[in-house]
Structures are given as C-alpha cells and as structure tokens.
Amino acid sequence: MTNNCGDSVRQAYPLFQEEGGGCRPTSPLQFNIGEIGAIKACQLNSIWHSRLPRIEVGNVVRNPYYICFAAEYGGEYYAVGIWSSPVALNRFNCKNILELRRFAICPDAPKNTASRMLRIMIHKIRRKFPQIEQLISYQDSEVHKGTIYKASGWIIKGISKYREWDSQKRKRNDSQSTADKVVWIKEV
C-alpha cells in the first residue's frame, strides 16, 4: 500500500519532534537533493503535481539537455523537479536554455522546500551544464502566484497566452491546463 507521496505508508508521528530526531523532515535543510532518473521523476510528478500530472518520459529524454532532481530524506522522496531543453525553443533568441518543465512537492514536505530545492537545482545545473545561459519556467496563472520565483531572483519575461499544440499532422493529448502562463526567466 502506498501513500499520497507514492511510497510505503508512513506512520503517524508526534506533531513536534527534535530537529533531525524523527522519521519525517522538519526542515528542508535536512533533504538530500540530487539527480534521479527521468522515469522515477515522471512517476513522482504524476502523484504530486497540482495541475500537470502527465509528462511523458520520452518528452523529457529526447531533448539535447535534461536533468531530473528529487528531495529525499530517510529513503523517501518529498519533491521532484524535471528540467529539459524548452519545448518551444524556437521562441527564444538564446539556444542555451533549460526549462523547468515540472516542479512538484509532496503535501507533507516542510515549509520552504520549494525555495531550497530550486536554489540547489540551479547550483547543480550550473555545474553540470556550464553552457546553459538562461533558465525558464511557466507558472500556471490560475493556481500559482510565482512566490518561489520572486523569492529566488527570477524575473517575469511576459505572459504566454494559451493555445493548442495540435497540428495538421498530429493530434496532441487533451490539455491539462488552459490557463495563461506567466513566463519567468533567470540568468545563470
């Protein structure tokens, strides 16, 4: 049996624990944030993402650049980030861009998990892909406010109006969100 985080069922623990003394993290500083495989990342995203649970592994790994991360503590995952070359790379002047395609946090992760994980992921991306000049992310305007991007020094590039991805040659899956997206960028 699994819980809402996709792992074995967790036991209930006291509301207050000593720092580092329990089986659940009390601070995002306790997480080990590192690379994971694209298959596992897509599985975790499907469990936790509030709006875009579907992402095909093939749509991640077929890109020139991709990397997936997870926040882990005590052998269990609490957050996942999936990065790849942008889906719509033709919309950008710079070709050395990495897009945060999905970022999903388990409901019982400690406060500030997203901010810390974003900072660590960016640091690791700089080291692994020194040729990357810019990061981009699309925030769903109907369900998120962009707080983690603001707090992490990203800037708004603009608004991307919703449009279908269908073409005459290929019918795409149904849209998971039809909301306009706020486009955030960060120079690295």
- Do residues 67 and 79 lie in contact, with contact meaning Cβ atoms separated by under 8 Å? no
Residue 16 confidence (pLDDT): 45
- Do residues 36 and 69 lie in contact, with contact meaning Cβ atoms separated by under 8 Å? yes
Indicate the number of domains in the chain. Answer: 1
**23, part of any domain:** no
Specify the pTM.
0.78
Q: Can you give the length of the chain in residues?
A: 188
Residue 79 confidence (pLDDT): 98
Residue 75 confidence (pLDDT): 95
Q: Which residue has the higher pLDDT, 80 or 146?
A: 80
The closest alpha carbon to 102, from 144, 159, 158, 153, belongs to: 144
Provide the CATH number for the domain around residue 98: 3.40.630.30
How far, in whole angstroms, is CA 50 from its chain's centroid?
Answer: 11
Tokens of 146: 């962009």
Pairing mode, strands 181-187 and 134-140: antiparallel
The model's pLDDT over 109-148, given as tens digits with 9 standing for 90+, comes to: 999 999 999 999 999 999 999 999 999 998 887 777 889 9
**82, part of any domain:** yes
**35, part of any domain:** yes
Pairing mode, strands 97-105 and 134-140: parallel
pLDDT above 60 (res 186): yes
The model's pLDDT over 10-63, given as tens digits with 9 standing for 90+, comes to: 444 444 444 545 578 999 999 999 999 999 999 999 999 877 778 889 989 999
**41, part of any domain:** yes
For residue 68, give its domain range: 28-187
The closest alpha carbon to 188, from 145, 138, 137, belongs to: 137
Q: Which residue has the higher pLDDT, 153 or 95?
A: 153
**18, part of any domain:** no
Residue 10 confidence (pLDDT): 46
Exposed, middle or buried: residue 79 (CB in 10 Å: 0-12, 13-18, 19+)? buried
Q: Which residue has the higher pLDDT, 156 or 181?
A: 156
Residue 54 confidence (pLDDT): 83
pLDDT band at 173 (very low <50, low <70, confident <90, very high): low
